[in-house]
Amino acid sequence: MMQHFSRVNATTLKGTCLVTLSAITYGGIGYFGTEIMRTGMSVQTMLFWRFSLASIWILLFLSLSKNNTIRLTTKPLSSVIITFMLAIIAYSGSSAFYFLASEEVGTGVAMVIFFFYPIFIALFAFCFSSWRFNRYAFSALVAVTVGLLLLEHPQQGVFKLLGIILALIAALSYAIYVFMGKYTVQLMDAKWQTFFICLGNVILFFVVAMLTHSFQFPQTLSTWFNIFAIGIVGTAIPMQLLLEGLKWLSPLKAGILSVFEPIVTLILGFLLLHESISLTQMIGILVILLGAMLIHFDRVMITELVEENK
């Protein structure tokens, strides 16, 4: 029993560290993306450059790696292709709709609504797996929800219906991507999976940018810097960390731990944009951390995960 618990604890700690690091590196997306769009670049063009840099970075990383062969599952190729197409569509949807929502209601409100996606993951897990709600998962979801609401105080009139709908679609899309990630990591190595998802987004957003006649090249050195930052630090690295972490954690647990991202966004705003952090926001950060700790001690979900990976 003690050996079984040690195994559970070790795998959980590894997954927790990977997903937390993913959330921390993801935290710069809002800042860098907003800075790029302030130059007049459209959302679809910005996302094209974002995923282009991410794809190039991952390909270079793979070329220097000793273990860079593509190892596929024994499942039919058609099912693998369909799964990855859905993952590409889900990830591109979450990216596009988040920034479109930010243009309508601001990055703060869009971020708060977007990070309700763990609730969608919980619903998916309840409907499509044997997992059932327990006191740890419920308490963690409540804590995270309250903490997110404390992080942002939208001004009167900022709640535009279109912006809210776009942010909810982004949250739903990302929930689908994370929930599917538990299964896609069983089909292909996380590094190659990250590359193909990014490449799919490159093609998709290039087509959209050309159809809308909005494609353009970055004009300044600072814009290129922000594109490199969002493509590598804010996309390639965190995507790979998340997919690796999903080998050891359930999608719901990974989703709840990823709420560290808005905390990082808040801190970046404080450090780079000289935005203030109120006492209420500090309380929100503590409540989110409490929720993350609650889900970490969910023995039921941990045990189920170990049984699945035997």
Q: Is residue 281 part of a domain?
A: yes
Q: pLDDT-derived band of residue 143, with 50, 70 and 90 as boundaries?
A: confident
Q: Which domain holds residue 46?
A: 19-65+73-308
Q: What is the DSSP string of 127-176?
A: HHSS----HHHHHHHHHHHHHHHHH--PPTT---HHHHHHHHHHHHHHHH
Give the start-end residues of each E strand in the chain. Answer: none
Q: Is residue 3 part of a domain?
A: no
Q: Is residue 220 part of a domain?
A: yes
Q: Is residue 279 part of a domain?
A: yes
Answer positive or negative: Cα dihedral of 159, 51, 83, 301: negative
Q: Is residue 6 part of a domain?
A: no
Q: Is residue 7 part of a domain?
A: no
Q: Is residue 13 part of a domain?
A: no
More confident residue, 138 or 167: 167
- The mean pLDDT value for 69-81 works out to 61
Q: Is residue 5 part of a domain?
A: no
Tens digits of per-residue pLDDT, 253-279? 777 777 777 777 777 767 776 666 778
Please tell me the distance from the alpha carbon of residue 269 to that of residue 63, in angstroms, as a whole number: 36
Tens digits of per-residue pLDDT, 104-122? 877 767 777 787 788 888 7
Number of domains in the chain: 1
| pTM of the predicted model as reported, rounded to 2 decimal places | 0.76
Backbone dihedral region for residue 96 (phi beyond 0: left; psi -120 to 50: alpha; all else: beta): alpha
Tens digits of per-residue pLDDT, 44-59? 999 999 999 999 998 8
Residues 171 and 112 sit within 8 Å (Cβ to Cβ): no
